[in-house]
Amino acid sequence: MVPCILVAFALAGDPIAPPAAEQPVAAEQPAAAAPAPTEVAEVPASSNPEPIVGPPAGAPLSGEALKVATQRVASQLRCPVCQGLSVADSPSESAVALKKEVERLVAMGYSDEQCLLYFEASYGEFIRLDPRAEGLNLVVWAGPLGLLAVGMGVIAWMRLGNRPKIASVAPQLPAIDPALQPYVDQVYAAVGKGV
Amino acid sequence: MKRGPVILAVGLAVVAGLVAVLASGFQHDPRSISSPLLGKAAPDFTLQTLEPDASGTSASVKLSALRGTPVVINFWATWCIPCQQEHSTLLAVSREFDGVAKFYGVVYQDKPEAIDAWLNARGRAYPTLIDVGSQAAIAFGVYGVPETFVIDKKGVIREKFTGGVTFEGVASLLNTLITE
Distance from CA of B175 to the nearest CA of A (A): 23
The CATH number that applies at residue B157 is 3.40.30.10
Count other C-beta atoms under 10 Å from residue B143's C-beta.
23
Same domain, B137 and B67: yes
Model pLDDT, residue B23: 84
* Residue A177 scores a pLDDT above 90: no
A82-140: per-residue pLDDT in tens? 888 999 999 999 999 999 999 999 999 999 999 999 999 999 999 999 888 777 777 77
Q: What is d(CA A104, CA A60) in angstroms, rounded to the nearest whole number?
A: 10
Contact indicator for A95, A81 with CB cutoff of 8 Å: yes
Q: Are residues B53 and B22 in the same domain?
A: no
Segment B5-17, tens digit of pLDDT: 888 888 898 889 8
Mean of all residue pLDDT scores within chain A: 76
Question: Same domain, yes or no, for A68 and A96?
Answer: yes
- Positions of chain B with pLDDT lower than 50, given as ranges: none
DSSP summary character for residue A165: P
In a domain, B36, yes or no: no
Residue A30, domain member (yes or no): no
Q: Which residue range is the domain that position B17 belongs to?
A: 1-30
Q: Which residues contact A128 (CB under 8 A, 6 or more apart)?
A: A76, A77, A78, A116, A120
Q: What is the DSSP string of A4-35?
A: HHHHHHHHH---S-PPPPSSPPPPSSPPP-PP
Considering only the beta carbons, identify the residue of A18, A38, A154 that sits closest to B57: A38
Written as one string, the DSSP assignment of B18-87 is HHHHHHHHHTS-TT----TTTTSBPPP-EEEEEEE-TTSSEEEEEGGGGTTS-EEEEEE-TT-HHHHHHH
- The whole domain housing A118 covers 47-130
| B65 and B15 in a common domain | no
Residue B140, in any domain of the structure: yes
- Based on the domain organization, do A94 and A117 belong to the same domain? yes
Q: Does A133 touch chain B (CB under 8 A)?
A: no
CA angle B37–B39–B45, rounded 5-degree value: 50
On whether both B62 and B128 belong to a single domain, the answer is: yes
Q: Are residues A144 and A71 in the same domain?
A: no
> Could you tell me the CATH number of the domain that includes residue A122?
1.10.8.640
Beta bridge partners of B48: B60, B130
Q: Are residues A111 and A140 in the same domain?
A: no
Q: Is the pLDDT of residue A171 over 60?
A: yes
Instruction: Name the domain count of chain B.
Output: 2
**Does one domain contain both B69 and B3?**
no
Residue B14 CA to its chain's centroid (Å): 39
Decide which of A186 and A115 is more confident.
A115
CB contact under 8 A, B138 and A9: no
Pick from A123, A140, A159 the residue to mutate for testing the B interface (most B CBs within 10 Å).
A123
Would you tell me which residues 44-73 of chain A have a C-beta closer than 8 angstroms to some C-beta of chain B?
44-48
Q: Do A122 and A148 sit in the same domain of this protein?
A: no
Q: Which amino acid belongs to residue B25?
A: G
Q: Is residue A42 less than 8 Å (CB to CB) from chain B?
A: yes
Same domain, A115 and A143: no
- Nearest C-alpha neighbor of A112 from the set A70, A80, A52: A70
Shared domain check, A147 and A96? no
Number of compact structural domains in chain A: 2
pLDDT, one tens digit per residue, over B82-108 is: 999 999 999 999 999 999 999 999 998
Same domain, B171 and B109: yes
Residue B41 lies in a domain: no
Ranges A54-58, A137-141, A152-156: which has the least confidence: A137-141
Partners of B71 in beta bridges = B102, B151
Q: Is B50 in Cβ contact with A38 (below 8 Å)?
A: yes
Are B23 and B105 within one domain?
Answer: no
Percentage, residues of chain A above pLDDT 90: 36
